[in-house]
Amino acid sequence: MCGIVAYVGRQNAMPILVEGLRRLEYRGYDSAGIAVHRAGGLAVFKAKGKVREMEARLPARLKGTVGIGHTRWATHGEPSDENAHPHTDSSERIAVVHNGIIENAGALRAKLEADGTEFTSETDTELLAHLIAAEKGDSLIDNVRSVLRRVSGAYGVAVLDGDHPEEIVVARNGSPVVIGIADKAFFAASDVAALVRHTQQVVYLDDGEIARLTKDGYEVTTLDAVPSEKTPSTIELDDMEFDKADFAHFMLKEIHEQPDAVARTLRGRLEPRFSTARLGGLNIEAKDLLRFKRIKMLGCGSAYIAGVLGAKMIERLARIPCDAEPAAEFRYRNPIIEQDTLYFAVSQSGETFDTLAAVEEVQRKGGTVLGIINSVGSTIARTCKGGVYLHAGPEVAVVSTKTFLCTLTVFALIGLYLGRMKDVSPAEGKRLLTALEALPEQMQQVLDREDEFAEVGRKYAHYDHAYFIGRNEGFAVAMEGALKLKEVSYIHAEAYPASELKHGPLALVTAQTPTIAIVPNDDLVEKNMATIEEIKARQGPVLAIAQGELPVEVEDLIVVPETHELLAPVLMLLPLQLIAYHAALARECDVDQPRNLAKSVTVE
């Protein structure tokens, strides 16, 4: 999704902005641009396509120490040079980059057009530039404040004014803005990835805050000009973590990082003495946790699917009714929030707009919501009362892989913790704890078989459609497997509960529609065999992901090691991730930045 970077200091801004934009490429975008103060006014360069295409348009010698940059993911208006940010007013005195959506843009734009303002783009952002330029206040920050008080919607913005060449104004409402504090230089960005190369000292803006940055300092106030007390925090991220190292793609690197990532998620959280887990950040006393009668997971996309699996794990271990719901569906159905329901917001980025809105809906109605988040200090993490961080390290590829499996690991820990306070015996707790300890090593064994999965990925790459089926946990694995395949390879992949196949979808099973069957070694193996036979009878090729040999013959069989039954999804997903990756490579897809997708969906 859109990305913002801004710099004010003593160095040449242009290469810093371009590098910052490169760091934001992983978020997904379709055009890029920068604006820099130079002698004689603002210089603006932008282009549809990749950052390198915009960079090709930059003059060799563009000097200026104050500038802003943007990667755009189209919302209002198609991807084009004209719609790329920064946007300026008619005199090119004001330049604005913006993440989010201005909801009352239509009415405000119509009024300006009626008064004779000519717009050069279809975006809602250009409106901001015209409105700020029309303000008559003495300072840029006052003019921006005045405009932002009149707009509704979500925004993170950065603004330059040719009449105030020493400063940048940034503001936030619903879309993240973080200020980076370096030596004699200040940065702003929508994502710490753009800053981490220069500084680890940051200040997060809260909604309704606006800041003025110069080379000598920054000041944060509210839109009503009340000073905000901000304490810088230190981000524990290494610039190298945003590097592909020797891997061809971030997706592949992150798939192979999973054993280490899961080991980090587990570190210090297992309590062998009592066969339980230790979770410091929940901020709820054990006795208070026990009063909850239900648990609900909220998230979007893969985070929602992880919630589906998490709900099954916790329900089985803690014998508390649990379910999961897509966050956007939840927030728009005026949900009944019960005091004895515990909500978990699941999000790797901690910035997904719909998940945040669901959290706020729960909190507004007096409910308790905890975060299962990867990005430390992200908006959802800060909004929740407490929670559990994944510690997976930054995930750069648009598709979730390591954060998905680390989320499952966290749910296993929560289930173990709650279960041991209820009916799970010490022996049963120990069985899960021992399986968790062994998990990273088992994951590594599966990943070491990449060649086997690559061959399968290539073999299935020519199909246009695929079904993924499973029962219970297997169905949730099928959902995530199908999502991975469609995201990166653009093969149409649909997940169905295996039991539902004969209620309709079987009509589409032919020799041209393979089915990927998830067959854990549980008490439903026979039922799954019956479904596989039905598919074979219609000439449908079957690829089975199982935990041992199967009594029926299938086109392809991938066997993963036995583990605790609740952890089987972790091992079964590894081949599915690599199959999706290699199918995408065979189809020459842009694996790390799939078309139309964004890493962090910060708009509705």
Q: Which residues bind ligand AGP (CB under 6 A)?
A: 300-303, 347-349, 352, 355, 398-400, 487, 600-601
- The alpha carbon of 133 is separated from its chain's Cα centroid by a whole number of angstroms, namely 35
Residue 397 amino acid letter:
A
Minimum separation from the CB atom of position 392 to ligand AGP (A): 11
Closest to ligand AGP by CB, 355 or 409: 355
Number of neighbours of residue 59 by Cβ within 10 angstroms: 10
Closest to ligand AGP by CB, 42 or 306: 306
Number of neighbours of residue 525 by Cβ within 10 angstroms: 17
How far from 85 is each of 82, 121, 213, 574, CA to CA, in Å?
Answer: 8, 10, 20, 39
Minimum separation from the CB atom of position 601 to ligand AGP (A): 5
Max CA distance (Å), the chain: 80
How far from 415 is each of 95, 276, 351, 445, 568, CA to CA, in Å?
Answer: 51, 9, 25, 26, 15
Residue 574 amino acid letter:
L
Closest to ligand AGP by CB, 324 or 398: 398
CA angle 125/130/131 to nearest 5° reads 95
How far from 35 is each of 49, 88, 260, 261, 453, CA to CA, in Å?
Answer: 17, 10, 41, 38, 46
Query: What CA–CA distance (Å, rounded) separates 505 from 583?
Result: 23
493 is written with which tokens? 């992949």
Minimum separation from the CB atom of position 1 to ligand AGP (A): 9
Q: Taking a C-beta distance cutoff of 8 angstroms, is the pair 349, 299 a contact?
A: no
Catalytic residue among 253, 296, 484, 599: 599
Question: Does the active-site annotation cover 2?
Answer: yes
Residues facing residue 158 across a β-bridge: 97, 170
Question: Does the active-site annotation cover 384?
Answer: no
Query: What CA–CA distance (Å, rounded) separates 350 from 346?
Result: 8
Minimum separation from the CB atom of position 347 to ligand AGP (A): 3
Closest to ligand AGP by CB, 318 or 345: 345
Query: What CA–CA distance (Å, rounded) separates 148 from 102?
Result: 10
Query: What CA–CA distance (Å, rounded) separates 137 from 131?
Result: 12
The CB-nearest residue to ligand AGP is: 301
Contact partners, residue 301, CB within 8 Å, separation at least 6:
400, 483, 601
Q: Taking a C-beta distance cutoff of 8 angstroms, is the pair 387, 359 a contact?
A: no
Burial of 183 from C-beta contacts in 10 A (0-12 / 13-18 / 19+):
exposed
Query: What CA–CA distance (Å, rounded) separates 510 from 284?
Result: 53
Minimum separation from the CB atom of position 491 to ligand AGP (A): 15
Minimum separation from the CB atom of position 599 to ligand AGP (A): 7
Minimum separation from the CB atom of position 327 to ligand AGP (A): 8
Minimum separation from the CB atom of position 361 to ligand AGP (A): 16
Helix (H, G, I), strand (E, B) or coil at 241: helix
Minimum separation from the CB atom of position 397 to ligand AGP (A): 8
Minimum separation from the CB atom of position 558 to ligand AGP (A): 21
Closest to ligand AGP by CB, 401 or 563: 401
Phi, psi at residue 592, to the nearest 5°?
Answer: -80, -25
Closest to ligand AGP by CB, 35 or 398: 398
Minimum separation from the CB atom of position 267 to ligand AGP (A): 21
End-to-end, the C-alpha distance of the chain in Å comes to 12
Catalytic residue among 2, 300, 384, 406: 2
Residue with tokens 């648009």: 398
Closest to ligand AGP by CB, 276 or 593: 593
Query: What CA–CA distance (Å, rounded) separates 261 from 71?
Result: 29
Contact partners, residue 33, CB within 8 Å, separation at least 6:
44, 45, 46, 47, 54, 69, 70, 72, 84, 85, 86, 97
The closest alpha carbon to 413, from 429, 400, 428, belongs to: 429
DSSP secondary structure string for all residues of 535-591:
HHHTT--EEEEESS--SS--SEEEE-----GGGHHHHHHHHHHHHHHHHHHHTT--S
The strand order across the sheet containing 31-38 reads: 41-48, 31-38, 66-72, 3-8, 185-189, 178-182, 201-204, 233-234
Provide the annotated active-site residues. Answer: 2, 599
